[in-house]
Structure 1
Amino acid sequence: MTDSVPERPAEAVTAMVDHVLALAATWTAWDGKPRHVDDRVYTPHKAIRRVADHLIDHLAELEARLAGEQPQPDHWHASAITTEADLARFTQEDLDEARSRLTRLARIWSNRLGTLTDEQLARSPGEGWSFRELALHLRGSVYYADAVGDLS
């Protein structure tokens, strides 16, 4: 990833969330069988959990670096585990909750990125990717939703 990518970082995050939620809208038809992709197992709840966790994790990193702090290391098990909650039926209410959660997280990202100058996006404080690269990296969260797929 380079800073010469023309896509605006906030749009990358919101487009990713839109893609995830479009797929999630079909998951109330899930048959309860986990999807095996690569060396992991995915379900609708796990996909939503992973997307939300990814957004939260990197947002915490961005905010810590802006505050001049060392980002707190994450200790999540990520996609290496599938919890009992991940195996639950995915209902319309779960979809409503996912929409609220992910839409709000995308909005927080969009608002935060919108306050940063091009210079801050390109040459971000602390170690790690620039904030532009960090936001563009979040596009990869579609992987979790794509693992479950379109169930319509």
Structure 2
Amino acid sequence: MTIREGTIEEVVAASQHVPELVNPYEEPVYHERFQDRPHLILVAEADGKIIGFKVGYDRYKDGSFYSWMGGLLPAYRGQGIYQQLTAAMEQWAAEKGYTHMLLKTRNKLKPMIRFCLSQGYYVSGFSEHTDPMESRIYFRKALGVKSQNANAK
């Protein structure tokens, strides 16, 4: 398995195979979000195919880097691959001078919530929706800070 910079096309194709991503974004949305903004597209590749990805960009122009989209094919979960993608994005962002990583997830995505907490992110906000499972939980992490729970699963 290797992690490398990828393309929007690769991520759009891979996102079709991540069950949590219902109606995943198409290419135009990525181009719209990235307009003249620093961004990073990372992909995990194994056996000649994209098995996971993590996409982020400078959304707020406030020194934070926003981890916008990510996913891993179900057959490759539990192997630390998403953790490696996250660590690679955090390292890249820190090297570029960003001070914090931001991300959000939905209340229904319990494995992602646990993952964020295990990687040293803390809850920084909540956006309520009529369906509580669709409510958003916002996370934040200072870059350059090692998680005490980084090896916890």
Common topology (TM > 0.5): no
Structure (1 or 2) with the greater strand fraction: 2
Which of the pair has more CA radius of gyration?
Answer: 1
TM-score normalised to structure 2 length: 0.25
Q: Taking CA–CA contacts closer than 8 Å with sequence separation of 6 or more, which of the two structures ends up with the larger relative contact order? A: 1
